[in-house]
């Protein structure tokens, strides 16, 4: 499908043209098959999912494993220790609802880890684990998080960098 946009005569016309393009783009993504890229209302770049992973990092800067560990063990943002056991003797308490993360860097590639952190519901729709980066098409989202990712793209990359060290 192609769309041709002429010159806008006034601000109202320009606004309508932008709204029309946005509606066309939304309609195209809404009709896309499973596995296609998702775009959120904040303009977050689409996730390019290939097979069972996201092969390209979400940022141009490599993730930092130390920052990723801090996010994983923090009881605020990611709060991974609520559900997952982490092989870290400094942690006194960890959950057992989700699988242990011991050896996860051996079992899964960085691309697979990136998808599980960014949009785990794509991997397992019945999972209780939230999609930490994706915001479009979710339900049962707490009001403070509506339309916003739990983790930024840089934070997702930090978490992935740490998880790949768990061998």
Per the listing, tokens 């499973």 go with: 34
Query: What is 34-163's CATH number, 3.30.2010.10, 1.10.760.10, 3.20.20.370, 1.20.140.10?
Result: 1.10.760.10
Reported as a single tens digit per residue, the pLDDT across 22-79 is 332 333 233 333 333 444 445 566 789 999 999 999 999 999 999 999 999 888 878 8
Residues 134, 44: Cα–Cα separation, whole Å: 9
Q: Do the Cβ atoms of 123 and 47 come closer than 8 Å? A: no
C-alpha angle 113/114/117, rounded to 5°? Answer: 85
Tell which residue, 67, 66, 97, has the closest CA to residue 81: 97
Query: Rounded to whole angstroms, what are the CA distances from 132 to 4, 93, 166?
Result: 36, 22, 20
CB within 8 A of 56, min separation 6: which ones? 48
Give the per-residue pLDDT at 12.
Answer: 36
Would you tell me how many other CB atoms lie within 10 Å of the CB of residue 159? Answer: 30
Q: What is the gyration radius of the CA atoms in the chain, in angstroms?
A: 19
Cβ distance 115 to 51 under 8 Å?
A: no
3-state secondary structure of 57: coil
Number of helices (H), then strands (E), belonging to the chain: the values are 5, 0
Structure tokens at 115: 């998808």
pLDDT score, position 43: 55
102-111 residue pLDDT tens: 999 999 999 9
| Residue 128 pLDDT greater than 60, yes or no | yes
């Amino acid at each position: 499908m192609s769309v041709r946009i002429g010159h806008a005569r006034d601000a109202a016309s320009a606004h309508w043209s932008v709204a029309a393009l946005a509606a066309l783009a939304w309609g195209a993504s809404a009709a896309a098959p499973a596995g296609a890229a998702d775009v959120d209302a904040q303009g977050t770049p689409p996730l390019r999912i290939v097979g069972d992973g996201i092969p390209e990092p979400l940022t141009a800067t490599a993730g930092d494993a130390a920052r990723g560990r801090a996010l994983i063990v923090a009881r605020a943002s990611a709060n991974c220790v609520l559900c997952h056991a982490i092989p870290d003797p400094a942690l006194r308490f960890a959950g057992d609802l989700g699988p242990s993360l011991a050896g996860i860097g051996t079992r899964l590639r960085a691309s697979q880890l990136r998808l599980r952190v960014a949009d785990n519901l794509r991997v397992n729709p019945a999972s209780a684990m939230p999609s930490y980066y994706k915001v479009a098409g979710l339900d049962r989202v707490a009001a403070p998080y509506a339309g916003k990712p739990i983790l930024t793209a840089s934070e997702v990359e930090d978490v992935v960098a740490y998880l790949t060290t768990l061998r």
